[in-house]
Amino acid sequence: MELRGRCAPESEEFNAPRKPETRHLANRIKQSAEVLRKNGPLKFLQLSVSSLIEPLRSARLRAAVAVDANRALSKINVERGARGLFIDCGSNIGQGYKFFSKYYTPTHYDYILIEPNANCAPHLYALRRDSRGTVEIIEKAASVRDGFTKLFGPPAAQRDPTYEGCSIVMDHNNALYEAEEIAAGLVETFSLSNLIEEKRAIYDVVVMKMDVEGAEYEILEDVIAKGVHRKLDAIYVEFHSQYMSGSERADRRSAERKFQDSFSKENVVFRRWI
């Protein structure tokens, strides 16, 4: 039972390298036991059902992304050599790039891969070497400001060096575990709103995937408050309220609905990422 959602749809041709099976199973058991201990059987059941229906959600998402990509391509002035940009915010080891580049193809799109976990960098640079297009790698954490902060993740016994759940938000998965600092020092942050504004002046189309482990709430509030959401043509967001508990979970759910309404009012494609 996989309680922690994958960061991209599963398929035979799209699978990230996995841990040794015995370690993966042990981590899942520990995570399941922690959910039961902290939140009881109801929360355990909710996350289990979410995991079971994920293949269906993935299939629907793939079909939707194909439609979105065709729509976005029609906005690019290919005849004058214009291009689109795809910002992969929370790249991990490149799973999102491998998925989205099938639809938002390197023929017409440049890519920016954003990932603060230094252990993931070699994977991303290897991916760039094998890429058919232009790929920029930003080894910083997306935020609302330029600066430095701590990076958090699960207890050491439940993670590996390229763990998907790294976050600058300490309680991002508080229904699953008590987070710990996972980097020896601070990681650098930057304003995602500023990056979007800067790049939209260059590209006909800007599309973004955001999987930043709980930091999406503050970032999206900033993006919307500054009107930068109007600069995007489509956005795919993984929200983390399902991995939170108590009143915080309800507050996050309410914020998610407001975010979706704000993008929809500007005719920006808004979809939930997995």
pLDDT digits (tens, 9 = 90+) for 195-217: 999 999 999 999 999 999 999 99
139 versus 175: the higher-pLDDT residue is 139
153 versus 1: the higher-pLDDT residue is 153
d(CA 114, CA 66): 23
pLDDT for the residue 16: 40
Average pLDDT over residues 129-139: 95
Look at residue 34 and tell me whether its pLDDT is greater than 70: no
Question: In the structure, what pLDDT confidence band is assigned to residue 18 with cuts at 50, 70 and 90?
Answer: very low
pLDDT for the residue 54: 64
Token pair in block for residue 121: 């960098």
pLDDT for the residue 197: 97
Look at residue 66 and tell me whether its pLDDT is greater than 90: yes
Q: Which residues contact 274 (CB under 8 A, 6 or more apart)?
A: 5, 6, 7, 8, 9, 54, 57, 58, 61, 238
| Highest averaged pLDDT of the listed ranges 13-17, 21-25, 199-203, 237-241 | 199-203
Residue 206 pairs in a beta bridge with 85
Domain 53-272, second-level architecture: 3-Layer(aba) Sandwich (3.40)
Mean pLDDT of the residues in the chain:
83
pLDDT for the residue 37: 52
Side-chain-facing half-sphere of 176: CA atoms under 13 Å: 28
Question: In the structure, what pLDDT confidence band is assigned to residue 6 with cuts at 50, 70 and 90?
Answer: very low
pLDDT for the residue 17: 39
Look at residue 260 and tell me whether its pLDDT is greater than 80: yes
Average pLDDT over residues 136-155: 95
Question: In the structure, what pLDDT confidence band is assigned to residue 240 with cuts at 50, 70 and 90?
Answer: confident
Token pair in block for residue 69: 């990509």
| Domain spans of the chain, in order of start | 53-272
Look at residue 12 and tell me whether its pLDDT is greater than 50: no
134-138-142-143 Cα dihedral, nearest 10 degrees: -120
pLDDT for the residue 235: 98
